[in-house]
Amino acid sequence: MRLLFLGDMVGKTGRTAVWERLPGLVSDLKLDFVVVNGENAAGGFGITEDIFLETISAGADVVTTGNHVWDQKEAVVFCERHDQFLRPANYPAGTPGRGSNLFFARNGARVLVANVMGRVFMHPELDDPFKCAEAILEACPLGEQADAVVFDFHAEATSEKQCFGHFVDGRASLVVGTHTHVPTADHQILNGGTGYISDAGMCGDYDSSLGMDKEEPLNRFISKMPKGRFEAASGPATICGVGVEVSDRTGLAEKIAPLRLGPRLGETIPEFWA
């Protein structure tokens, strides 16, 4: 199975780039399943229902989120209407929406996708992500109820991300770190067969500060005084993500490589899909 994960869409330029390129990627690369993190898609802060629906129409099978999931207040309402929209699963019981769900890929495979948020340097501090993941895997184990398992681990600390990867190694097809918006070079297949990358990067303008227009963040570092609001950068976007070949027999990763498309960082398509 061919699975693609795209990192956090940031603002109009990021989401537009994904909408324009994703249909061709699904067709040309014969992708079976696509996950996109959309938590920064609305001006850099949260996501609206219209943006969610447009992302699904472009070819995403699931849209995950993170700590900005509720920044657009309408998300509290529309999250209940859409099975393909996920918020972090380790929010307290009773929180609107869902944190994991089972989906069908284009090849008919059953894909469990779970969105979990780390706790180190993160706000709000949610329930234990490791216990949460354990419960998700017990309810829908790889090789039994699911043919593939994907975790979006939305976290700040690389150590927490790596430990989470090792925690589910052999029980998940792929663990992708999101949130820090900078693609890491540590894509690998862990000892137990789980594909892993500490951060997929963002889909947005890299002539920026993590997708935000760089002038206000720079001002705050220098002067310690705000002059205005953070605004999403509006230059040409680079799409960043990771591609994985998942074994139809075991549900574990066989190949993993980054995908990058756009004016910065250099264009890269996983060579096993080229």
Determine if residue 82 is labeled as part of a ligand binding site.
Answer: no
Determine if residue 39 is labeled as part of a ligand binding site.
Answer: yes
**Catalytic site residue 68?**
yes
Beta strand pairing status for 202-203 and 8-9? parallel
Q: What are phi and psi of 24, to 5 degrees?
A: -70, -35
* Torsion region of 75: left, alpha or beta (phi above 0 gives left; psi -120 to 50 gives alpha): alpha
Determine if residue 179 is labeled as part of a ligand binding site.
Answer: yes
Determine if residue 123 is labeled as part of a ligand binding site.
Answer: no
- Helix 129-139 and helix 158-168, axial crossing angle in degrees, nearest 10: 30
Determine if residue 166 is labeled as part of a ligand binding site.
Answer: no
Please name every residue paired with 148 in a beta bridge, in sequence order, or none if there are none: 111
Exactly one of 68, 82, 123, 187 is catalytic; which is it? 68
Binding residues for Fe cation, as ranges, are 8, 39-40, 67, 154, 179, 181
Catalytic residues: 68
